[in-house]
Structure 1
Amino acid sequence: MGLHAALAVHPASGHGAAAHVAEAVAARLRPAVDRLDVLTAGSVAQSRALMRSSPAEGLDVLIVLGGDGAAHQGVQFCAEHRVALGLIPSGTGNDLARALRIPAGPRAAADALARALQAGHRRRIDLGRFGGTWFATVLCSGFDAAVNARANRLRRPAGPRRYDLAILTELAAFRPRPIVLHTDEGRLALEATLVAGNTPYYGGGIPICPSASPRDGLLDLTVIGSAGRADLLRLLPGLRAGAHLDHPAVHTLRSRTLRLDAPGWPVFADGEDQGHTPIEATCVPAALTVITPIEAAPG
């Protein structure tokens, strides 16, 4: 039996950018597989329904054309059904594609994935898991999650600047709160915001956990301690360069497991709303097979 792939198109991703390039992307992928089904979904529910029908057809690879929200749905499906995941970035953040070093342009990404498919180039990466949900990039709570929620509501500006604007807006209401972290190393109580990363990026390329690797079996934790607005304002210019780690209020650690007890903070994973704290998360080694460019590999 030949290689059977499906291209899951999320037309609304990137303010409609995915819909415009879907045909060109499919044309680039078809020569690399024996069968390519195009699944066009207008909603999360429809996307899940289309994906669920695919295993019965013997699906080998799911390729997602969209942003991080679409990638998040693909991760859930592929981790549960042992189907390989490929990504064609066409969203606002594209942080998972960035972490896997997939080219930023949809056509270039499709060409790179076609070469990888023809060469049988696959890798396994870790995923984070909490409750019944998998996450591939970053789990965040507190200030970071509030920023994510606001960024999702903004229509402009486009791209990473939307997250920068959300940060500045949320600063007006920011208050550090007491939290308790339970990790492999023990219990840590402090006033903080929290990020747990399986890969380095969130917010359209901010390396919040610069050393995070999706192949080390651990979650990287970046904790901003008791920092007021003035401290956060000083942190902002260095965020996109990863220079925030030098600030005395920032703590980093690694752990296979994490429990966060906090006062009903919002929680986001891969940029998607996941409710509120408390939460318990675990790193699951080699939980997902990904198609990555031959020229590059995840860390």
Structure 2
Amino acid sequence: MHAVTTVDRASGAGLPVVVLANPSAGRGRHRGLLPSVVHRLTAGGHPVRVLDVWTPAQAEAACHKAVADGAAALVTVGGDGTVHLALQAVAGTPVPIGVVPAGTGNDFAGSTGFPTDPLAATDAVVAALRGGRSHPIDLARITAADGTHRWYGAVLAAGIDAIINERANRMRWPRGPRRYDLAILVELARLRPRRYTLRLDGVTHESDAVLVAVGNCASYGGGMRICPAADPTDGLLDVVVGGRFDRRTLLRVKPRLYPGTHVEHPLVRSFQARTVELAAAGITGYADGERVADLPVTITAVPAAVRLLR
């Protein structure tokens, strides 16, 4: 839990709405959006302050400070990575979060009921601020082997998708989306099932798998419903395991990730649990699209861990 300055949150007099913006989110297509968002937010009855940060570490530290200093709310303008940074500060506190989706995927925003249009989402945040209204949802809390913790809102990927991300992040060429495309080709050529050990609420499952995802929400990767039954208000994590896929089968199944019908494939198994212990050799987990921890990790569903302004 993070310390929050004791303030009169009923009136919220003088408390700022703090904005964390990522102008490069969504490959910069919303670069000119921020002034309009800030202008609209001023109608919410609070002063508005935009954080002046340049790196993810600076952004996360600034969010923690804003919450500790008594922000009325934290509003993100960006994608899932921007939301992920903000969640580290607001989780477990009374400070609510508003999400203006301006990234490539915006899976957290879409899964939790924010409008897809950035300005419509801003108006929804303003209406919630003016009405003093917020809605609690669950978050997932990761504990790494070294005891460190991270929160996430959408999905933890720990299969071929995480392996591709890890390779793309190690590559220095080519730049831009082509680097990720090349990483996909390399890892598909090397595709093999990995041995996973899962303990779901204390019950152990061993599996050779290609896809492993632990969802608080349903989708990741820009609308792929990898955990289609996940509900961020039920106090449970959804675990989806795709078994011994070969390349041809995986490529045939991939389009079914968008509607979520892949879970009907005979090689896919689905589970629900409050606590998930996940282990495999040589795998780094990615949550909300961000690199979080090497396996093994323990993931816990934390009910009503954050309040949403919508």
TM-score relative to the length of structure 2: 0.86
Distance 1:57 1:281, change over 3 A: closer
* Matched letter for residue 181 of structure 1: L
Residue 267 (str. 1) matches residue 285 (str. 2): yes
Distance 1:17 1:283, change over 3 A: same
Residue 129 (str. 1) matches residue 141 (str. 2): yes
What is the aligned partner in structure 2 of residue 209 from structure 1?
Answer: 227
Residue 75 (str. 1) matches residue 92 (str. 2): no
Aligned residues of 1:25 and 1:107 also touching (Cα < 8 A): yes
Aligned residues of 1:185 and 1:255 also touching (Cα < 8 A): no
What is the aligned partner in structure 2 of residue 240 from structure 1?
Answer: 258
Distance 1:186 1:53, change over 3 A: closer
Give the superposition deviation at 1:8.
Answer: 1.3
Residue 116 (str. 1) matches residue 128 (str. 2): yes
What is the aligned partner in structure 2 of residue 231 from structure 1?
Answer: 249
Match of 1:253 among 271, 274, 293: 271
What is the aligned partner in structure 2 of residue 295 from structure 1?
Answer: none
* Matched letter for residue 34 of structure 1: H
Match of 1:156 among 163, 173, 177: 177
What is the aligned partner in structure 1 of residue 47 from structure 2?
Answer: 35
What is the aligned partner in structure 1 of residue 302 from structure 2?
Answer: 284
Between the aligned partners of 1:281 and 1:182, the Cα distance in structure 2 is 10
Between the aligned partners of 1:139 and 1:249, the Cα distance in structure 2 is 20
Give the superposition deviation at 1:233.
Answer: 1.5
Match of 2:204 among 187, 207, 230: 187
Distance 1:254 1:34, change over 3 A: same
Aligned residues of 2:67 and 2:90 also touching (Cα < 8 A): no
Give the superposition deviation at 1:151.
Answer: 6.4
DSSP-derived class of the 1:40 partner: coil
Aligned residues of 1:66 and 1:88 also touching (Cα < 8 A): yes
CA offsets per residue over residues 119-173 of structure 1, 9 Å max, x none? 222111111111210111001112121233456676237xxxx988865653222
Aligned residues of 1:7 and 1:37 also touching (Cα < 8 A): yes
Question: Is there any run of 5+ residues in structure 2 with no aligned partner, and where?
Answer: 1-11, 144-148
Between the aligned partners of 1:241 and 1:163, the Cα distance in structure 2 is 23
Between the aligned partners of 1:43 and 1:80, the Cα distance in structure 2 is 24
What is the aligned partner in structure 1 of residue 240 from structure 2?
Answer: 222
Deviates more, 1:110-119 or 1:145-154: 145-154
Between the aligned partners of 2:141 and 2:59, the Cα distance in structure 1 is 21
What is the aligned partner in structure 2 of residue 21 from structure 1?
Answer: 33
What is the aligned partner in structure 2 of residue 146 from structure 1?
Answer: 163
Deviates more, 1:14-23 or 1:120-129: 14-23
Aligned residues of 1:125 and 1:214 also touching (Cα < 8 A): yes
What is the aligned partner in structure 2 of residue 8 from structure 1?
Answer: 20
Q: Percent identity?
A: 40
CA RMSD of superposed structures (Å): 2.1
Aligned residues of 1:163 and 1:203 also touching (Cα < 8 A): no
DSSP-derived class of the 2:51 partner: strand
Between the aligned partners of 2:166 and 2:155, the Cα distance in structure 1 is 14
Question: Is there any run of 5+ residues in structure 1 with no aligned partner, and where?
Answer: 293-299
Give the aligned length: 288
* Matched letter for residue 290 of structure 1: L
Residue 61 (str. 1) matches residue 73 (str. 2): yes
Between the aligned partners of 1:212 and 1:164, the Cα distance in structure 2 is 28
Aligned residues of 2:197 and 2:278 also touching (Cα < 8 A): yes
Deviates more, 1:68-77 or 1:176-185: 176-185
